[in-house]
Structure 1
Amino acid sequence: MNKLFLKLPVLGTVLAASSLILPSISLAQDCYNNPNLITSSSKEFIAHNDGTVTHLQTRIMWQQCLAGISAGPDGACSEGELELLNWQQALQYVQDLNAGGGFAGYTDWRLPNAKELTSVIEYGCSKPAMNLQIFPNMAGTRVWSSTPSVNQASSTYLKTWVADYGDPNAGSGSDGGVVTFANANRETQAYAVHLIRGAQ
């Protein structure tokens, strides 16, 4: 099985960090007690108080909740039910969302590519490997990317990449890696969707 391993530096850009107004979420998340391992600091994001945040280094806007989930009264992604979709359903979900008026006033949402997915992974934590101040109550699940493999997809199997939000070391090799190659059955394999808009 092919794997993609992307290591990211600790980011240092801080803009308007004081504008962050985010709920305090307490989940059974495992984190290393080592600030040098933090790769997704809250200071690297601006919260827009509409269910979206912008990652300052990449200028990409992220929905804070996965498809099917919305923020509850406490600001956590706790309303609704997580949608696990096959590849065609994921593409259709994005198309329908944009055609139906979009989200937070934008109609150009898309699936992130593999590199974009890794840009928000918190390698210092697992279950989930995400910053829960930025992505509150995030599920530790696998998420579709838009990145195909160098091999062409067959009529039955989709050769693409997925990110494992549950485990930052889901990949293999000396460096570990959260983004894993999936030779997924396009009809039956179902993963979550985490949408973005902006820079490509």
Structure 2
Amino acid sequence: MDHIKHQKKNRIITRVNEIVTNGGLPKTGQMMSYQMGDDGYYQMGYPLGGGQRFIDNGDGTVVDTVTGLMWVKDLQMAGFGMTMYWYDAINACENLFFAGHDDWRMPNINELMSIVDHSRYSPAFDPMVFTPMPDMWTPYWSSTVCVSWTDGAWCMYPYDGYKTTWGRPWDMCYVLPVRGGQA
């Protein structure tokens, strides 16, 4: 019986080490504390900032050292400088060959929200890492369909990082291709 408990303990320790060493959640960027116990007080999470978190590969892509995801840095450079319908955005990502890679996809909403720096707006992500589109009021698609409204998909506004849903069959948004992650 002790042998089985020992194996379980080792699996748990191994899993905790994997979680800790494979990155974590980024900080929100809130520096000012407005009340005891808010995020400005604790400032938890992985440090924000281009030099600490994102690595520019010099080929139009950046790697997020927290999530391990590779993102397209400049949408226009990759041929994604226009808005598109959700279904077209999925196909465009799936068929993208860029920077020597052909396994691009549309990010899910959690991946897309992971690049938001809540200490910024216009854009809500580091413009030294990602080249913002001129139109900050058109959101970026995610691949995540809204459960309560299946015609909708979750999106992120680049202006302030606001998460909302837009209509998959009729609305047009930008898309920020990503590759990597865990299945």
Whether these two folds match at TM > 0.5 is yes
Q: In 1, are the aligned partners of 2:109 and 2:155 still within 8 Å (CA)?
A: yes
Which residue of structure 1 lines up, in the alignment, with residue 171 of structure 2? 189
Residue 62 of structure 2 corresponds to which residue in structure 1?
53
Q: Is 1:147 aligned with 2:131?
A: no
Are 2:84 and 1:85 equivalent residues in the alignment?
A: yes
- Indicate the structure with greater helix content: 2
Structure 1 residues 145 and 137, CA gap change in structure 2 (3 angstroms): closer
Alignment check: 8 A CA contact 1:149 1:159 kept: yes
Deviation at 1:39, TM superposition (A): 6.7
The C-alpha deviation readout for 1:12-32, integer Å capped at 9, x for no partner, is xxxxxxxxxxxxxxxxxxx99
Name structure 2 gaps, 5 residues minimum.
1-24, 33-39
The CA distance in 2 between the partners of 1:89 and 1:185, in whole Å, is: 10
Answer with 1 or 2: which has the greater Rg: 2
TM superposition score normalised by structure 2: 0.68
**Partner Cα separation in structure 2 for residue 114 and residue 130 of structure 1:** 15
2:95 is paired with a residue whose SS is: helix
C-alpha deviation, 1:138, in angstroms: 4.2
Asked if 1 retains the 8 angstrom alpha-carbon contact of 2:61 and 2:72, the reply is yes
Letter in 2 for 1:198: G
Secondary structure class of the residue paired with 1:70: coil
Structure 1 unaligned runs (5+)? 1-7, 12-30, 72-79, 169-177
What does residue 152 of structure 2 align with? Answer: 159
Which residue of the partner structure matches residue 104 of structure 1?
A: 99
Aligned residues: 144
Paired residue type of 2:124 = A
